[in-house]
Structure 1
Amino acid sequence: MKYASVAVFSGIDALLTYAVPENLNIIKGCRVMVPLGQKLATGIVIDTNLKNAGIDTNRIKPIERVVDEQSVISDELMKLGLWLAQYYISPPGIVFSAMLAALLKVKSKKMIRLRADFTGAAKLEGHEKLLYDFLYKRRGKKADIRDAQSILNLKNIYKITESLEEKGALRSEFSAKVKEKRQPSKAPDSGDAEIETHKELTAEQKHALTRINSAIDANRFAPFLVFGVTGSGKTEVYIKAAEHAVKQGKKVIVLVPEIFLTPQIMERFKRAFGERVAVYHSGLEEGERLHEWLKIKNNGADVVVGTRSSVFAPFDNIGLIIVDEEFDSSYKQESEPRYNGRDVAVYRAKMNNAVVILGSATPSAESYHNAVTGKYEMIKLEKRVHGRPMPDIKVVDMKADWQHGQELFLSDLLMDPMKETLKAGEQAILFMNRRGFSSFIFCKKCGHIEKCDNCDIPLVFHKEGNDMRCHYCDLSVKPTVYCPKCKNRLSFSGTGTQKIEEVITKFFPDKRIKRVDMDTMGGKNEYFEVYRQIKEKEIDILIGTQMIAKGFDFPEVTFVGVVGIDSVLNLPDFRAEERVFQLLTQVAGRTGRGGKNGTVAIQTYNPDAVGIKYVKKYEIEKFYQEQLSIRKEMNYPPYTGIIQFVCKDEDHDKAEKAGDKLRAAIDEQIEINKISGIEVLGPCDAPLSRIRNKYRISILIKGKSRKDLNFIARAARKKVKGADVTVIVDPASTL
């Protein structure tokens, strides 16, 4: 009896062993149905050559059936998945189900057909000749391998097919269907609108490409940090490098942090590569995702553009991976498997001896540190293309510039330049990192704040819909008029994008205003439509949250106003200053990208905050140097690794007890194994102390040895098996 190890698509943190019935053709990398408890579950075969030694054959159950007739995942992707499961302490089945998200609801089949250029038919014999003749009669048409097996009665057809493929006689393709297979939506046509394409590269761009292309030609792993100011032409460098890689017969993956950015960058890559580009992200419908996945797997594309899951694109021969705006927290997945797409991209490039480009005007502190210490190669683009100046940034001190007699949250120093911009027929952007109308509802008499019943979070009032919403669990309730404690009338406070939209509409009744946030963007077609409207000047004022802070490249946007940045600055997280600096630099970079100068107005009650003062002066590297100095002193990344545990329970006491038990297990592992250099913080209430009706207790462990951290985390978690414990390796936020 043969045995196979299977990664079952469940939360089990181990590979399971199953017996392989003789009547089933089990291939490494194919999906199978296996018994799990009283149910059948899907899993992926990791190994088909397990030895009997150590296996209790009486307890081993057989594989029930095979879903795929060929491997749906390459050896390279399988190795990547196993590494990811180990590094991020994630169940391997959950990892592989994420990698194969496009296939989870479909059954695949293997199609075969002859190659027109094969000239060795006369040398074929036996079963190979039988299969060749069968396909030859089909005159180039594809055949389902199961049909061929049944008609020809060939039990070993898979080995025969493999042999004929090696001889160049036939090719196989992966095929699958869903109930409604739809073609993917197209990115909007560019029309006559100008797109930033530079026939003549700048000296900095040429220098960057020389270094990158040299590494591609050398077939060596080379991580580059392309550190370029906004508007310096990083995307043009990406495209030219991708063209070079494709000319060498290699494949390219391009990652962007937000779905909203795919239409614009997709348009640029379409111009360069035509239909040999695939797009892949979670906003696609089931049939669309499968269509694009098959296009990639069956060699119908040279380049894939998409969000973080595109890092798992089923390409062979990867030569280049590009991670645009590599600092963005959107690359970190919040649910299992909690991987960072940027870091997985670096690891996958290393596995393939490929080049990886991490690009941004505001890199993460970790990537900047890797570059200045020589782990990455740094390429600087310090000038905007065509010698365009950086926008003029004004910081408005709201304490000193309180505007009486008008809407208090918009100062004259912000409104006046916006009026001038609109008067000149140009476009403006207003950035507010909070959606909704009012950020909280409170009682002026007793101080009561209306909070979510499930979370320790103030409810946000949304005028559209006339409801109070929790932005963490999506609870929606009708607004209360009177305080439940003292019966005084409740007041609205704080500002969101809805309120700004209402006020700006009053100020500029004749202007075309569009709000972009999670409440207005319901699907990918809406992203495409907003993109088209801005480009074709059908929008005068764009109001939005951080989804508009990155990647936009519109020459007529000459003013950006920033409101409410202090809400990010005051977060109890060691990356808060870095987040503010990145947000402000990015949103400021949306202006002045055409032939006209740009202006930025930033409203704040903390004008001397580190993340603000360095933005104003464009002292980008000074900011990173100061941040790294603080991180080193406080023992935070990039000088240490960090793992966060979050113990959750509807009962606060039970959550606390789980935290105490986990802390004891961590301390025990450190002591028993004589591990040094580990710092443990907690247990304590997490800053977001209750979400979705569960209390949250946080523990952080920090240390220079990631191997030690991983060992401690795995061993300690096993000691609290009955508790709801989330383990987050390299958390993007510790809230």
Structure 2
Amino acid sequence: MTYADIIVDISHEKLDKSFQYLVPEKLKEEIQVGMVVSIPFGRGNHVRKGYVVGISGEPKVKGIQLKSVAGIENDQETTESRLIALAGWMKENYGSTMIQALKTVLPIQKKMKAQEKRWITLLISREDGEKLLEELSMTRFKARIRLLEALLQNENGKIETAWASKELGTTASVLRYFEEQGIASVESDEVYRNAVADAENIPHVAPAVLSISQQMAVNQILSEWEHPDPRPVLLHGVTGSGKTEVYMELIDKVIKEGGQAIVLIPEIALTYQTVRRFYGRFGDKVSVINSRLSLGERYDQFKRAKQGELQVMVGPRSALFTPFGKLRLIIIDEEHESSYKSENSPRYHARETAIHRAKLEGARVILGSATPSMEAYYRAKEGEYVLVKLEARFEERPLPRVSIIDMREQLKKGNRLALSLELREDLSQCLKKGEQAMLFLNRRGYAGFVSCRSCGHVMKCPHCDVSLSEHNGRKLICHYCGYETVKPDKCPVCSSPYIGGFKAGTQQIQQVVEKEFPEARVLRMDYDTTRAKGSYEKILSAFSRHEADILIGTQMIVKGHDFPDVTLVGILAADLSLNADDYRSGERTFQLLTQAVGRAGRGRKEGHALIQTYSPDHYSIQTAAKQDYEEFYQEEMGYRLLMDYPPAAHMMAVLGSSEDEKLLETAMHYLGLFTGKIYAGKDLHVIGPAPASVGKVKDVYRRVLYLKHENYDLLVRIKDRLEEYIEINSGFRKVNIQFDFS
């Protein structure tokens, strides 16, 4: 027997459970996850539409009579059905419940009351209106006279009700009189909330003339698109090479063919400039979705998308699930960014999920970055993706000059400030020339690691090549294998007492800058200054208008922004991300530094960047200074191969959490034993369990178990076996288990 789990038409029922139906023999070969089916539902067995979310050979509950699927609606494939099929794929590949996956791809939007614009429209002829105005002028009804005059003066004989009320003093009784006498009518139009800030003031921009290299990139991509099953394209362009113009040229082609496009950006901070560029090119065919929008704004954007009134949606990760019916292109800009990975179940990655959605929709995928992720570049090298390169800046502008400042030498010179002597001198010159500067404080990975300010030595795990994290009680712990040691009082290499964690923040940097350069106008952009709605736009637009000389911020200021007057970039504490307790720390450091350096000299003036570091010889810093991705990739890949880290192998993290610490430790121990026993001899590496990077949150303890293998499908099968093992063991009922693939 075959059984189908079906969600009843989501527009009618709450998205909280599925119902199991028996699949008739005649439909067994045809029925698939994601299909639209007709089913008897409710006491009256009314035939309703449903979506297949799962197929099995066993009933969930034995001994009850199940209703049968009435039929497959072959002509009823919808945007929802394709998204449900995507949710089914996410459930299987990332480990979650179907309901969690469905809530991710079909976010419940509370129905919001539509905004309305009311109009007063003249119904009588202009000649009759003039006669009536003469008659009214002999009366005391001044409000009626003002309204009729306004309607006659308007070329279309139509004015807004709100304007009439405010400017003319038009009351409800006046409107009622005009309607009763057949003089005018009051009508309402539904008005969508525009999510694009200041849309009416964004000027239209004609398509740019592409450079030879940009046009070659477009032609190479279009050539791949001619294949019946085009591969994803990795567009690797140096900072300032004009990737966005390539995107827009391809989107223009898609729109002209009647298709729609999704453009993913990694940060809300990038929305301001990105949306303005796309809106300037494509007008109100473009909209944006992000977490800073009101419920009404979000509701309207999804409604417009579903009704086909939009052609381009721009936004962070969640924009991937825009309900476009004619989706033909998905662009993931800055594809290397970690924000494309969900931290909630299902822990999906936007890159793989976008590629799978594209297969379901018949769409193409473009991944763009100046610093591609190791995974994407590896797949391009293997031929799974098409590699397209933009190797020079737009208009052949030079890359910025880069200086590496050894902060150990600064300490020897008696300089204990966060700004090196060289950076202070360059800032002074920059201000004298009337140019702008950006100071980037690399806070990624700052929490926990311990280093020596005298020699730069970092306390690392002897088994996993990641930094140890400082915990209460002077403990240093590895979050991969659980190795533990005591924090030393002196550096074990040079015996310096200057060993500890990093303490500076953007606010302290701002204070130093304002003290050193009191004449400078300084803006700060970090979590604290961007909490309010519109704060990103306010800060970035002010800096763009040259209302500030120096912009200080965290990583949000160095990703994708284009300020032509910025000639100087100072990178403070480059080592922080390098010493995070993550095997990707070298990669993340190279990406952050390369992106930061790339903000300098994007206009006509030469750019200069200074990288302040305690590890000047590290390959991530050296290659970032040279903007040499290929050299970095080869060096980093050697370490990944040595340690069996992705993309050299695949890795699955089994994440456990519970309020009962002992129960959690026991549960994770048995998961490790079960996995090692069942898959012994298959070259499977089992690491841990160990404390998570944050071992306890709101009285909930967290542990992690890592599994590494070259075969991704094997890890998925292990995930399935572990889910079955957890299901039949009552000890796991008070333990939450999630799976995370790398």
Q: TM-score, normalised by structure 2?
A: 0.73
Alpha-carbon contact 2:196-2:288 (below 8 Å) kept: no
Alpha-carbon offset, residue 545 of structure 1:
0.8
How far apart, CA to CA, are the structure 1 residues paired with 2:49 and 2:55?
9
How far apart, CA to CA, are the structure 1 residues paired with 2:220 and 2:526?
39
Picking from 720, 728, 733, the partner of 2:739 is 728
Alpha-carbon offset, residue 272 of structure 1:
1.9
- Aligned position for 2:41: 20
Alpha-carbon contact 1:223-1:357 (below 8 Å) kept: yes
* Aligned partner of residue 528 in structure 2, secondary structure: coil
Alpha-carbon offset, residue 351 of structure 1:
2.6
Q: Output aligned runs, 1:266-285, within 5 Å.
A: 266-285=275-294
| Amino acid aligned to 1:278 | S
Q: 1:405 to 1:55 in 2, by over 3 A?
A: closer
Alpha-carbon offset, residue 20 of structure 1:
1.9
Q: 1:598 to 1:47 in 2, by over 3 A?
A: closer
- Aligned position for 1:186: 196
| 1:87 paired to 2:93 | yes
- Aligned position for 2:346: 337
**Matched residues, percent identical?**
36
Picking from 559, 563, 585, the partner of 1:576 is 585
How far apart, CA to CA, are the structure 1 residues paired with 2:18 and 2:340?
27
Picking from 684, 688, 696, the partner of 1:690 is 696
Q: Which moved more, 1:402-411 or 1:334-343?
A: 402-411
- Aligned position for 1:619: 628
Q: Output aligned runs, 1:208-607, within 5 Å.
A: 208-216=217-225, 218=227, 220-402=229-411, 407-434=416-443, 494-607=503-616
How far apart, CA to CA, are the structure 2 residues paired with 1:236 and 1:544?
27
- Aligned position for 2:177: none
The CA deviation string for residues 214-260 of structure 1, in whole angstroms up to 9 with x for no partner, is 34455643311100000000000000010011111221111000111
| Amino acid aligned to 1:388 | R
Alpha-carbon contact 2:562-2:599 (below 8 Å) kept: yes
How far apart, CA to CA, are the structure 2 residues paired with 1:686 and 1:439?
13
The CA deviation string for residues 5-54 of structure 1, in whole angstroms up to 9 with x for no partner, is 345999x999542772264656445xxxxxxxxxxxxxxx4369999988
The CA deviation string for residues 389-408 of structure 1, in whole angstroms up to 9 with x for no partner, is 10111110001122766652
Across the two proteins, how many residue pairs are aligned to each other? Answer: 589
| Amino acid aligned to 2:20 | T
* Aligned partner of residue 248 in structure 2, secondary structure: helix
Q: 1:640 to 1:727 in 2, by over 3 A?
A: farther
How far apart, CA to CA, are the structure 2 residues paired with 1:390 and 1:190?
35
How far apart, CA to CA, are the structure 1 residues paired with 2:113 and 2:676?
47
| Amino acid aligned to 1:329 | S
Alpha-carbon contact 2:577-2:585 (below 8 Å) kept: yes
How far apart, CA to CA, are the structure 1 residues paired with 2:325 and 2:510?
48
Q: Output aligned runs, 1:144-155, within 5 Å.
A: none
How far apart, CA to CA, are the structure 2 residues paired with 1:520 and 1:243?
36
Alpha-carbon offset, residue 708 of structure 1:
1.4
Q: 1:392 to 1:192 in 2, by over 3 A?
A: farther
How far apart, CA to CA, are the structure 2 residues paired with 1:186 and 1:306?
11
| Amino acid aligned to 1:722 | R
How far apart, CA to CA, are the structure 1 residues paired with 2:414 and 2:47?
76
Alpha-carbon offset, residue 517 of structure 1:
1.1
Greater Rg over alpha carbons, structure: 2
Q: 1:22 to 1:650 in 2, by over 3 A?
A: closer
Alpha-carbon contact 2:687-2:706 (below 8 Å) kept: yes
Picking from 662, 665, 668, the partner of 2:671 is 662
How far apart, CA to CA, are the structure 1 residues paired with 2:674 and 2:588?
33
How far apart, CA to CA, are the structure 2 residues paired with 1:331 and 1:52?
36
How far apart, CA to CA, are the structure 1 residues paired with 2:404 and 2:371?
19
Q: 1:233 to 1:632 in 2, by over 3 A?
A: same
Picking from 691, 709, 712, the partner of 2:715 is 709
Q: 1:437 to 1:216 in 2, by over 3 A?
A: closer
| Amino acid aligned to 1:88 | Y
Alpha-carbon offset, residue 427 of structure 1:
1.1
| Amino acid aligned to 1:719 | Y
Alpha-carbon contact 1:393-1:602 (below 8 Å) kept: yes
Alpha-carbon contact 1:565-1:604 (below 8 Å) kept: yes
The CA deviation string for residues 354-385 of structure 1, in whole angstroms up to 9 with x for no partner, is 22110000000010111111111101100001
Alpha-carbon contact 2:238-2:370 (below 8 Å) kept: yes
Alpha-carbon offset, residue 502 of structure 1:
1.3
The CA deviation string for residues 566-598 of structure 1, in whole angstroms up to 9 with x for no partner, is 121111211000000000000111111000111
Q: 1:54 to 1:383 in 2, by over 3 A?
A: closer
| Amino acid aligned to 1:77 | L
Q: 1:363 to 1:194 in 2, by over 3 A?
A: farther
The CA deviation string for residues 385-431 of structure 1, in whole angstroms up to 9 with x for no partner, is 11111011111000112276665221111111122112111111111
Alpha-carbon contact 1:27-1:48 (below 8 Å) kept: no
The CA deviation string for residues 614-661 of structure 1, in whole angstroms up to 9 with x for no partner, is 112222101101111221221111122211012223444333212111
The CA deviation string for residues 102-147 of structure 1, in whole angstroms up to 9 with x for no partner, is 5256799xxxxxxxxxxxxxxxxxxxxxxxxxxxxxxxxxxxxxxx
How far apart, CA to CA, are the structure 1 residues paired with 2:362 and 2:551?
43
Q: 1:193 to 1:287 in 2, by over 3 A?
A: closer
Q: 1:676 to 1:571 in 2, by over 3 A?
A: same
Q: TM-score, normalised by structure 1?
A: 0.73
Alpha-carbon offset, residue 607 of structure 1:
0.6
The CA deviation string for residues 160-187 of structure 1, in whole angstroms up to 9 with x for no partner, is xxxxxxxxxxxxxxxxx9xxx9714433
- Aligned position for 2:158: none
Q: 1:405 to 1:245 in 2, by over 3 A?
A: same
| Amino acid aligned to 2:586 | E
Alpha-carbon offset, residue 194 of structure 1:
12
Q: 1:248 to 1:296 in 2, by over 3 A?
A: same
How far apart, CA to CA, are the structure 1 residues paired with 2:637 and 2:47?
51
| Amino acid aligned to 1:17 | Q
Give the aligned CA root-mean-square deviation in angstroms: 3.7
* Aligned partner of residue 529 in structure 2, secondary structure: coil
Q: Which moved more, 1:657-666 or 1:98-107?
A: 98-107
* Aligned partner of residue 509 in structure 1, secondary structure: coil
Alpha-carbon offset, residue 276 of structure 1:
0.9
* Aligned partner of residue 402 in structure 1, secondary structure: helix
Q: Is there any run of 5+ residues in structure 1 with no aligned partner, and where?
A: 30-44, 63-69, 109-176, 442-454, 460-490
- Aligned position for 1:5: 5
* Aligned partner of residue 76 in structure 1, secondary structure: helix
How far apart, CA to CA, are the structure 1 residues paired with 2:604 and 2:293?
36
The CA deviation string for residues 511-567 of structure 1, in whole angstroms up to 9 with x for no partner, is 221111111111441111122112111121111111112010110111111112212
Q: 1:665 to 1:433 in 2, by over 3 A?
A: same
* Aligned partner of residue 346 in structure 1, secondary structure: helix
* Aligned partner of residue 567 in structure 2, secondary structure: strand
Alpha-carbon contact 1:437-1:497 (below 8 Å) kept: no
